[in-house]
Amino acid sequence: MSDLAPPAHFIKNAIDEDLAAGRYRQVVTRFPPEPNGYLHFGHAKSIVLNFGLARLYGGRCHMRFDDTNPTTESMDYVEAILEAVRWLGYDWGEHLYFASDYFETMYRCAEALIERGLAYVDSLPPEEIRALRGTLTEPGRDSPYRNRSIEENLALFRRMRAGEFPDGAHVLRAKIDMASPNLNLRDPILYRIRHVSHYRTGNAWCLYPTYTYAHPIEDAIEGITHSLCTLEFEDQRPFYEWLLEALAEAGVFSRPLPRQIEFARLNLEYVVLSKRKLIQLVEERHVAGWDDPRLPTLAGGRRRGYTPEGFRLFCERIGVSKADGWIGYEVLEQAMRDHLNEAAERRIAVLDPLELVIDDFPEGHVEWCEAPNHPLDPERGKRRIPFTRRLWIERGDFMETPVKGFHRLTPGATVRLRYGYVIECTGCDKDESGRVVRVHARHFPDSKSGTPGADRYKTKGNCHWLSCDHAIEAEIRHYDRLFRHPRPGTEPGPDGAPRSFLEDLNPESLRCYRAFVEPDAAQVPPETRFQFERHGYFVADRYDHRPETPVFNLTVGLKDTWGKIQR
């Protein structure tokens, strides 16, 4: 398995320095999602980074759920996240953890802070706490409850745990510095009262820690050495370090303490990677669920036919940096295309069928033609394709009046039917509206591919085909980009006002149509991937594909058509 560890990796360099200095003996990382939604493509970068570095250094990576918010989390999300990480190719072994298992320890840590005069119970309403916090240019102001005695704070905090107060009556805050230029050090909130049942702890708690408070403690409990976060947590690192130092001085944790390092998150064009926006897309039914192949979730990518190897290759190519930037979606598509080119066997599909009749081919006769399963890998062998009098070809492969440069079927022209015979077009049939409904041709019996003398026939055109008597009708789901704009919702509307990202949705992001595929392509199990020759890479739908009713999803085309359009 290929992992993310390039030579110039600044996080790798930091780890090398820590190990050389003897600060840590074993590298321990963690992947800590909140179970309030499905994992998206940005999480893939973090997964590959954390698990990859742990493997590189012979350490371990913990799978941990930061489940401190009972109002949005569920076991369904936990199971979906675990499935996605396994699908990407990573295993946490025995190291599966939940923040909710540490609630008692976190509570004791809070009491330790109170006893050292480093935390206090604030009884101001939430809006007044916000008003006193200050701004980027103005310092905050002390709460009137900031100087409560240690005894009073302990008593109130224990009553908060006992459920004596309603939601919002009190909060526990760290006592740091209301004049700090870093807003995250202006007495951040550590605990809130929430009379809500937790999906794992039930009603055992009505007092829940904030993520900012819980996360450093979780890292310290588990012995994490390098806590790798995206850049939005950079301003919170001073609190991370303040909290762990305070608890170490109180004797709760021993040194060395975890080290937080930030890296740039994934910003990918033509998608949104905000969990809030993804939830909105799902709940408002702009997509067909968390695993809709247009949605940039790992479940959606899997259903679309994206591969774990493709995601890992993508992560290697984009690398890790300290500066935010935008990655073109075509970079992800090319990674998938490069892997599928090697991994996917070839099959034939006719997506816009037009009947071709070989008038001089015997009625009822079947001729078997051979085609390689993979032209780059002869060891995968060959398959047999039936050739009959009536064939399906692509409508775009015939022009009654050809344009310059058209080298396929046109009256009087000869082409090779791929893996089959050379034919000469003799005419076509039309319906009452003048639309071509059938093409006629004659074949050259000594021109069958792979037979002696067949190479005597030189043609400019090459068409693929399927037997009308044997091909299986299939549903094709043609997925395109979910948004028309590379950065959805970032440009102002006609009146200059901000517009919703929903206004940039692509109404053509999904087109469904009927097509024909080779018989053995219909028989494959779900999630089997093929290159349908000349068209692109497709996957048998994970849920809807059946041999009797095959369904194939377009994964990615053979070429970067979007990039060409943009250029």
pLDDT (tens digit per residue) in 165-212: 999 999 999 999 999 999 999 999 999 999 999 999 999 999 999 999
Long-range (24+ apart) CB contacts under 8 A made by 104-107 are 105/217, 105/221, 106/209, 106/213, 106/214, 106/217, 107/161, 107/207
- SS3 (DSSP) at 297: strand
Model confidence at 565: pLDDT above 80 = no
In this structure, are residues 38 and 245 in contact, taking their beta carbons and an 8 Å threshold?
A: no
User: What number is the average pLDDT over the span 425-440?
Assistant: 97
pLDDT tens-digit readout, 77-131: 999 999 999 999 999 999 999 999 999 999 999 999 999 999 999 999 999 999 9
pLDDT for 7: 47
- CA dist., res. 122 & res. 118, Å (int): 13
Q: Which of 23, 34, 116, 442 is catalytic?
A: 34
Residue 438 bears catalytic tag? no
User: What number is the average pLDDT over the span 535-539?
Assistant: 97
Residues 139, 144, 147: CA angle, nearest 5 degrees: 100
Say what percent of the chain tops pLDDT 90.
93
- CA dist., res. 238 & res. 182, Å (int): 9
- CA dist., res. 516 & res. 45, Å (int): 37
Cα 538 to chain centroid, rounded: 18
- At residue 495 the predicted structure's pLDDT band, cuts being 50, 70 and 90, is confident
Model confidence at 6: pLDDT above 60 = no
User: What number is the average pLDDT over the span 377-403?
Assistant: 96
CA distances from 207 to 33, 110, 202, 416 (A): 21, 12, 12, 74
Q: Which of 12, 45, 192, 275 is catalytic?
A: 275
Phi, psi dihedrals of residue 434, rounded to the nearest 5°: 90, 5
Model confidence at 296: pLDDT above 70 = yes
Say what percent of the chain tops pLDDT 70.
97
In this structure, are residues 296 and 40 in contact, taking their beta carbons and an 8 Å threshold?
A: yes
Residue 127 bears catalytic tag? no
Q: Which of 108, 265, 418, 487 is catalytic?
A: 265
User: What number is the average pLDDT over the span 224-242?
Assistant: 96
Name, in order, each residue with C-beta under 8 angstroms of 465's C-beta and a sequence gap of 6 or more.
348, 350, 356, 391, 392, 393, 417, 418, 420
H/E segment holding residue 393: strand 390-394
Q: Which amino acid, one-letter code, is at 118? A: L
pLDDT for 562: 45
Model confidence at 251: pLDDT above 50 = yes
User: What number is the average pLDDT over the span 442-458?
Assistant: 93
Question: In this predicted model, which residue has the larger pLDDT, 308 or 4?
Answer: 308
In this structure, are residues 269 and 38 in contact, taking their beta carbons and an 8 Å threshold?
A: no
Q: What is the DSSP string of 127-163?
A: HHHHHHT--SSS-----TTTT--HHHHHHHHHHHHTT
pLDDT for 8: 58
Residue 559 bears catalytic tag? no
> 431-457 burial, b if ≥16 CB within 10 A, otherwise e?
eeeeeeeebbbebbeebbbeeeeeeee
Model confidence at 561: pLDDT above 60 = no
pLDDT for 492: 81
Name, in order, each residue with C-beta under 8 angstroms of 175's C-beta and a sequence gap of 6 or more.
117, 118, 119, 120, 146, 187
**Number of other residues whose CB lies within 10 A of the CB of residue 80:** 19
Q: What is the DSSP string of 502-514?
A: GGGB-TTSEEEEE
Q: For 325-334, 451-460, 531-540, which range has the lowest pLDDT when averaged over its residues?
A: 451-460
